[in-house]
Amino acid sequence: MNGGLLVAGTTSDAGKSVVTAGICRWLVRQGVKVAPFKAQNMSLNSFVTREGAEIGRAQAMQAQACRVEPTALMNPVLLKPGGERSSQVVLLGRPVGEMTARGYHGGRQERLLGTVLDSLAELRGSYDAVICEGAGSPAEINLRRTDIVNMGIARGAGLPVLVVGDIDRGGVFASFFGTVALLAPEDQALVAGFLVNKFRGDVSLLEPGLDMLHGLTGRRTYGVLPFRHGLGIDEEDGLRVSLRGTVRESAVDPPVGEDVLRVAVCAVPLMSNFTDVDALAAEPGVVVRFVDRPEELADADLVIVPGTRGTVRALEWLRERGLADGIARRVAEGRPVLGVCGGFQLLGEHIEDDVESRAGHVEGLGLLPVRVRFAREKTLTRPVGEALGERVEGYEIHHGVAEVLGGTPFLDGCRVGHTWGTHWHGSLESDGFRRAFLREVAAAAGRRFVPAPNTSFAALREEQLDRLGDLIEQHADTDALWRLIESGAPSGLPFVPPGAPA
């Protein structure tokens, strides 16, 4: 078998990432050696592979669904927004510079098609099947000429296309029809059919519409996936904390201690790796929320300042909102604060930034004895260490180099009293360390909170991936899906006018 499939969507956030992961987990259960692929990802939620390459976290999650190690080949182009009009371009895991949207779509993107197709070909040479994820919609007619992630990759590699639509938003039939009808004949020939996502209710009521859609387009629907809470693990961007949603909306053990812990995460601009707090939200008795007002810090037992692609901009935002003063008051009162990556940097004394914001010398919040200088070379590592008497694993993605001038060592950063700072993303996924950290937070906050002794974050993630596989196995036509992956799009699919404009 040397199969492939492109999972496209009628819109962004239609469910492409989770459907791709679900198909991957279903295939690996069948004994298929499978890998994920996304030619181009725009996300601030990224991950570091074992070889030190930066890729989208969604692809790392999909690799876990495949039970394989993630590599740079699985996401050869990653765009990390740094503002409204520019992004850092990460090629095969390494940053190659900043570029405006106009500059990227004006020629650079098109030139990357060869790299993308080579990466896909290398994966297909090593795996039985590669399940590719598109981006946005394949019918973005203003971008089709330079497209390398939707129909560009499908046509270049001869991949059949499955279009996913989120029926919970409404308008799914129009979205399916319009997606096909705005594609060129050569692209339409690869669109095999549709997959309905997030359906609520009686499927029999939907079936007449699916029959009419088949009559209008000549394309079948490969499945109707029911709405399930909390399946959006390791999404690309946004303020959803996916695993928190899952745990809170499914059967959860009650708190072990008498109190709960309330965690407030500052929703800073250009927030990166917001999934760092998923492991906290997975703990019974821990309530995590994102905040953007100082009064929302008042009842928090722990405040987290997360990573950000714009450290100086986030610092200004905290000051403008009054959150900086609120955090400073907490530190003066000995109440717990954790800064992660960019959040760690802005807790320091000052920042020298001629790389990210080009703001030069900027005074930090002065809450940790740290000075930060931004280097042009990005740090991309997978460190392993010890803190609070427990083994910790994490990953680092940052330009800022921290000079720690005091305090007690904490991972690669430091702590002063109950204020902690580190560049390590993902450290809270280490179960023993997370429990030890929460015990310290509870003691400092005066809460009778006790961490559950047996919460395994890795096991919870595996359960989630199995639930995604179950959705595909139970609610998709897996025989037809198998034929599509193995043999490609059916021949003789009709053209749906008007097609793409000239």
For the four alpha carbons of 221, 222, 224 and 225, in that order, the dihedral sign comes to negative
Other CB atoms within 10 A of residue 96 CB:
12
Which amino acid does the sequence have at 458?
A: A
Residues in the chain: 502
Residues known to be catalytic? 341, 425
**Torsional sign, CA 24, 25, 29, 34:** positive
At residue 21's C-alpha, the angle toward residues 16 and 25, to 5°, is 150
Cα–Cα distance, 297 to 28 (Å, whole number): 44
CB-based burial, 396-410: b 16+ in 10 Å, e otherwise? bbbbbebebeebeeb
Q: What is the C-alpha to C-alpha distance for residues 370 and 320, in angstroms, rounded to an integer?
A: 23
User: Which residues fall within 8 angstroms of residue 192, CB to CB, at 6 or more apart?
Assistant: 160, 161, 162, 219, 220, 222, 484, 489, 490, 493
> What does the alpha-carbon distance between residue 225 and residue 26 come to, in Å, rounded to a whole number?
14
What pairs with residue 407 in β-bridges? none
DSSP tag of 369: S
The 3-class secondary structure across 184-215, one letter per residue, is CHHHHCCEEEEEEEEECCCHHHHHHHHHHHHH
Q: Name the nearest CA neighbour of 261 among 275, 240, 238, 282.
A: 282
254, 345, 365, 408 from 414: Cα distances, Å: 33, 11, 15, 5
CA 276 to chain centre: 11
User: CA torsion 59→63→69→73, rounded to 10°?
Assistant: -50
Residue 162 contacts residue 4 (beta carbons within 8 Å): no
Signed CA dihedral, 292, 297, 299, 302: sign only: positive
Helix (H, G, I), strand (E, B) or coil at 57: helix
Q: Where are the beta strands (DSSP E) in 388-465?
A: 390-393, 396-404, 408-410, 413-416, 419-422
